[in-house]
Amino acid sequence: MSNIVRDRFFNGRWTAAHGSVLEVFNPAHPDRVVSRCTTSSPADVDEILQAASEAFRTWRCVPVFERYTALTNFAAAIEAALPDIAQAITLEQGKPLAEARAEAGKALQEARFAFTQCLQPSGAAPMGARPGFRDLVIRRPRGVIAAVTPWNFPILTPMRKIAPALAWGNCIVIKPSEFTPGAVALIADAAAQTLPAGVLQVVNGAAETARSLVGSPRVQGVTFTGSIATGRQVYVAAAESLAELSLELGGKNAAVVHDCDDIDAVASAIMGAAMQCAGQRCTAISRVIVHESLHTPLVNALVQIAEAAVLGDGMLPGMTMGPLTTAAQLDKVEQMVAEGLQAGALLRTGGCRMQPDNAREGRFYAPTILDDVPPSSSVAREEIFGPVLSVLGYDSLEQAIRLVNDVPHGLTSSFFSNDYRAVRNFMEQAQTGMLHVNHGTVPDSHMPFGGIGQSGVGAYSVGASAQAFYTTEHVVYLP
């Protein structure tokens, strides 16, 4: 594993960078260095962007079937590396190996769907408005795309940006999180075997490297996934060159339980969506808004599932939850739970750090259920990004939907009910970009992915809607 992360992937090969040394640690064993690399300096970044600009002039003109063939070969090379990618994810991010494998598999599935998009018709041919003219709308690749990705999904999020960028004829420079660079390094190795030099390039580093990348005038599009606070900084940096933006930001996602036939099944769906990745998902269910008639049995079922979780080193068999990835995130979760309890929430289970026997020094936090959470409290309104569920009660459907919408986020939500009218009300009134009925917040691999409000800016990723970001639109009047 110590050789997986290199310095920078430049023009089809790994080369030296000229920044500071970056060490990557295992969150289950924070004293263990997983790998080291050198971060890219602003000069390194500019050199890579210049190479991307040059590669774009050729890649954008590659015939569509030739491009598609190269991308399918790229996908096959990634598939061959999936065991190593999954291991890198677990060692750097912490999630159990089975979960890392599932993430890698979904990333590849999404990518293969995205690659097919370059084969689909684009543009339009409306009726001409003047005699003797034909009106056309055509689309072209945007250019050089800068991508900055987070640490919670080390392959899924990068591939969600790489695949559509390349499919529509762009070149891309990606900066993975400084906490989880290993998976992207292995993606670059696959690119070295299958793609032209300069089409996909990688820089490593932290905030300084990201600022050099997204603020460069050589960049035509900036795509970022992460927190709202960092998203605002990316927005400002990209504004200098007026680059197109696609920001996927945080969520404070609610599951409304209005009525149900099987309370255990509902609890299982909620907990699956809430506790995957130790709750470190932008789409994680963080709030449960439950009708008072179901409040007590649902909380009991949630507690039972939470207490059955097996925490530990994700490389060991039988683990169902890994550690939080960073020390800062563990501190934040602990602080927010304390604030919730101080505000009047009731602790039903969890609420403390854990020391599993196989990783006693790791950054583990117990799956936590907070009940009767005041709607105005921070745990009810702010993203926690940890294994914490806040339960709120309601009497009327109007009140429930008001609680769903009473946050600045608008990413995703779930609604559990057999009442058709109630479902219709939820579909029409819930202010989130993605809405799930009678299941957890798990998106499909071909559907648009994104949010409204402070959860997103620009076109949604995945699916045909991503074309609006990765291509530019041109109107042609042809006599």
370-398 pLDDT, tens digit per residue, is: 999 999 999 999 999 999 999 999 999 99
Predicted pLDDT of residue 115: 94
Q: Are 253 and 432 spatial neighbours (Cβ–Cβ below 8 Å)?
A: yes
Q: What is the pLDDT of residue 3?
A: 56
Query: According to the model, what pLDDT value does residue 132 have?
Result: 87
pLDDT class of 5 with cuts at 50, 70, 90: confident
Distance of CA 98 to the CA centre of its chain: 18
Question: What tens digit of pLDDT does each residue of 223-278 get?
Answer: 999 999 999 999 999 988 899 999 999 999 999 999 999 999 999 999 999 999 99
What domains sit in the chain, N to C, each tagged with a CATH number? 8-248+453-478 (3.40.605.10), 253-437 (3.40.309.10)
| DSSP element (H, E) containing 40 | none
Cβ distance 449 to 461 under 8 Å? yes
Backbone angles phi, psi at 40, to 5 degrees: -85, 130
For 13-27, 34-48, 124-138, 178-192, which range has the lowest pLDDT when averaged over its residues? Answer: 124-138
| pLDDT tens, residue by residue, 407-456 | 999 999 999 999 999 999 999 999 999 999 999 988 888 899 999 999 99
Please report, rounded to a whole number, the percentage of residues in the chain having pLDDT higher than 90: 91
**Residue 1 scores a pLDDT above 50:** no
Considering only CA atoms, which of 463, 457, 71 is closest in space to residue 244? 457
Q: Is the pLDDT score of 110 beyond 70?
A: yes
pLDDT in tens, 290-329: 999 999 999 999 999 999 999 999 999 999 999 999 999 9
Q: Which residue numbers are catalytic?
A: 248, 282
pLDDT for 117 equals 86
